[in-house]
Amino acid sequence: MPANNLLLSSSPNAFTGVDSRKIMMAVVIALLPTTVYGVVLYGVPALLVILTSVASAVAAEAAFRALIKQDVRVGDLSAVVTGLLVALISPPSLPLWMAALGSVAAIIFAKEFFGGLGANPFNPALIGRAILLMSFPAAMTTWHAPFGALTDATTAATPLNVVKMGGSVADVGMQIAGSSDYGTLLWTLFVGNRSGCIGESSILLILVGFAFLLALRVVNWVTPLAMVGTTFVLSWLLGMDPVFGVLSGGVVFGAVFMATDYASSPITPMGKLIFGAGAGAITAVIRRFGGFPEGVTYGILLMNAVAPFLDKLRVKKYGYVPAPKPAKPAKEAGK
Amino acid sequence: MSTKTFRGGAHPPERKHRTEELPIEYLTQVKEVVIPVNQHFGAPIQPLVKAGDQVKRGQKIADAEGRMTVPVHASIAGVVKKIEPRLQSNNLEGLAVVIEADGSGAEDFMPPLDGFSCGKDEALARIREAGIIGMGGAGFPAHVKLAPPPNKPIDLVIANAAECEPYLTIDERMMAEKPTDLVEGMAIVMRVLGVAKGVIGLEDNKAHHLDALEAAIKAAARGADITVQLLKTKYPQGGEKMLITALTGKEVPSGGLPMDVGCVVQNVGTFCAIAEAFRLGKPLIDRGFTVSGGACKTPKNLVVPVGTVVSALVPEHIQLDEEAVRRVIYGGPMMGPSLPSWAVPVQKNTSGVLFLDASEAKVYAEGPCLRCGRCMKACSCRLSPALLNVSIKANDLAEAEEIGLLDCIECGTCSFVCPSHIQLVQRFRVGKQLLRAKKQKEAQRAGK
């Protein structure tokens, strides 16, 4: 006869098997190519920044959640992703304590204060970066040429910096590709052999990660495409070299890994489109008119603030497509 | 043939391989049946017999006046032992007629009726008197669907042969073994409605039955206007609205019925039952269903008298690893309810009885919403489950209604795909009740 250990709950009684942890793991794997390349470019110091940042992010989340007596859920790997992202958008010569501080700020101020996983209104890694950028502007803007020791002698301006300081695109070519040939410069930028943040330089490897995430359907293509596309078009309209603008700096990295952050970006398709376009536009405007050479951080953070409103742009529901019901004129009039 | 489909949906593991090749087993000799009086969607009906009465197989034992009512018949010959509340497959207790077999096998069927020469009202009356309800699960009275108001012209009769729920294979077997019944039932329904076109919507995981179906259509005297359309294998392809959209491209308006877009949809089993009600005069007293699940050692497709208590079939006809059973589901795993016991009768709308083991019946803790948007992509009604969840949790029912709470068909795809195991559809069910209660209250207040 029927056993008494039967489970009772409302249907459905099936599950895909893709859980939060697997999604975060996919993001980590997608970040690996550019992470490894960052270590190849800058050696042990970059590796130490990465390890410090990840470790302090995980430790901060565990400690904070334990402190406020919530379930410690570092197993979902979201803190690993945040820590890794903070490291990848930092310069390789960043002092380790600053890297740790950035990660801790990202986790505690940007994420846990708002309720933890899924509840952060702003991208935690970008908040961490913004805090570091304001607190330690020098350390956060000291760049080094790839494939060398990170000493004072090897500091090198980023391509966007060179242009911001009045240099030409050809100057950048001479600096990083050793040639004023435009095609060579673009190829060098695409491969990523240039100074910059640890993980942002190689467009090629970022796209590899993007393809991986798209194949697993972890991220959508709307936001990144809208962001990069808008940066491209607006750079062009504002009189900057659009191809150079997209290949240098962090716009591709930001579009693929930051603007697609689930919690801080809109969830609806139309919202994603506007979010991406807005972030791209702000990036281009900051690059052209702002005091900083790069505007990706603030472009995304500012759009994060708008994301909840963009969620109002929902798709048409099933059964509403042919015509709105004429039975509701009162509601229309009330609006 | 190209396959058609709808937007959204998901692919739960099909798990049909254990039973899809097995011929249906017919079981007529059962010692006792427990026949719930109210198995249909609509107004309640009353028993017509009392304890001690002798009943024949096919004799009407419960009925009532009213449009949304369907009678219930004795599924075996015997003596009414008692009439008392019993647990039904919807997890609620309801009045049931308990009949003990006397072994006489006495039958009381209606006279056969030619569905192609009788009057329209006569045909509708036959379908009602045969106690036929939608056999896909919802149990909507069949004759009501076939008598739409005059301002809703119908131009298409659809046979729902999607069978998109995992495990279930009974419709597939019915099609394979009784394709002529399916075609005949459709032809009768098309005649009753005065509709010239019929289509069988078949998921492409059952495409190997296509030839047999088309042969049956060709062989049938009145099958000329029926076609078979392959559909992409995707849950919830067999949802009435999704099926209509896949086949016609039209969307059933919010709050509306299939007849609003000129369609009548019936399940394969319903058409077969209609065919038998005319040809044999036999009411809906036998029900085919799939027995499966990891804890079931003898998965099979079985036809039993309506009211057969499943536990009475163990172990003679169904062998279980009783220790391993963790969940008992009447219906499919995506929408079927979990029951606290399998001492529950098979009803007219029972399409499967599943005995799931621990690996199939996992229970997860609800995690935080990542806002990954998987539910939004999967929602077959294009609602925003993640946002609905937030508004219901915040008790903002007005917002939930605007997002489309009442348009949810409760297919469960959102909960199926959620990486955080959030009980989305479960919460929407509760939310719907709260919203309806709130509306009722407001209506009452406005009425005062």
- Whole-structure pTM value: 0.90
In this complex, the residue of A262, A314, A321 whose CB is nearest that of residue B371 is A262
CB pairs < 8 Å spanning A and B: 164
Task: With a cut of 80, say whether residue A311 has pLDDT above it.
Answer: yes
State which residue of chain B sits closest to A115, comparing Cα positions: B368
Which SS3 state, helix, strand or coil, does residue B190 take? helix
In this complex, the residue of A2, A10, A20 whose CB is nearest that of residue B370 is A20
Question: What DSSP state is assigned to residue B336?
Answer: P
Handedness of CA A299, A301, A302, A303 (dihedral sign): positive
Q: List the one residue out of B429, B431, B348 whose CA is nearest residue B391.
A: B431
**pLDDT for residue B439:** 92
State which residue of chain A sits closest to B10, comparing Cα positions: A16
Q: How far is CA B144 from CA A113, A219, B128, B265, in A?
A: 56, 46, 9, 12
**By percentage, how much of chain A surpasses pLDDT 90?**
67
**pLDDT for residue A266:** 95
What dihedral do alpha carbons A291, A297, A302, A306 form, nearest 10°?
A: 160
DSSP H or E run through B142: helix B142-145
Task: With a cut of 70, say whether residue A110 has pLDDT above it.
Answer: yes
Which range (A122-131, A241-250, A316-325) has the least confidence? A316-325
Cβ of A23 within 8 Å of Cβ of B372? The answer is yes
Peptide bond connecting B179 to the previous residue in cis, omega within 30 degrees of 0 = no
Helix axes A296-310, A269-289, angle to 10 degrees: 150
What would the mean pLDDT of B284-288 be, rounded to a whole number?
Answer: 95
**By percentage, how much of chain B surpasses pLDDT 70?**
100
| Cβ-based neighbours of A17, under 8 Å, separated by 6 or more | none
Task: With a cut of 70, say whether residue B423 has pLDDT above it.
Answer: yes
Taking only the tens place, the pLDDT of each residue in A198-215 is 999 899 999 999 999 999
Chain A residues touching residue B362 (CB < 8 angstroms): 15
Chain A residues touching residue B426 (CB < 8 angstroms): 9-10
Task: With a cut of 60, say whether residue A330 has pLDDT above it.
Answer: no
Establish if A9 touches chain B: CB-CB under 8 angstroms. yes
ipTM summary value? 0.87
Compute chain B's Rg from CA coordinates: 22
Residue B23's Cβ-count burial label (10 Å; 0-12, 13-18, 19+) is exposed
Task: With a cut of 80, say whether residue B418 has pLDDT above it.
Answer: yes
Confidence of residue A321 (pLDDT cuts 50, 70, 90): low
Buried b (16+ CB within 10 A) or exposed e, A6-20: bbeebbbbbbbebbb
Chain B residues touching residue A15 (CB < 8 angstroms): 362, 364, 416, 421
Taking only the tens place, the pLDDT of each residue in A271-303 is 999 999 999 999 999 999 988 888 999 999 999
Confidence of residue A3 (pLDDT cuts 50, 70, 90): low
What would the mean pLDDT of B203-225 be, rounded to a whole number?
Answer: 89
Cβ of B333 within 8 Å of Cβ of A76? The answer is no
Taking only the tens place, the pLDDT of each residue in B215-265 is 999 988 877 789 999 999 999 999 999 999 999 999 999 989 999 999 999
**pLDDT for residue A286:** 94
Task: With a cut of 90, say whether residue A165 has pLDDT above it.
Answer: no
**pLDDT for residue B403:** 93
Taking only the tens place, the pLDDT of each residue in A15-73 is 888 999 999 999 999 999 999 999 999 999 999 999 999 999 999 999 999 999 998 88
Cβ of B254 within 8 Å of Cβ of A325? The answer is yes
**pLDDT for residue A331:** 44
Task: With a cut of 50, say whether residue B320 has pLDDT above it.
Answer: yes
d(CA A318, CA B255): 11
What would the mean pLDDT of A88-101 be, rounded to a whole number?
Answer: 95
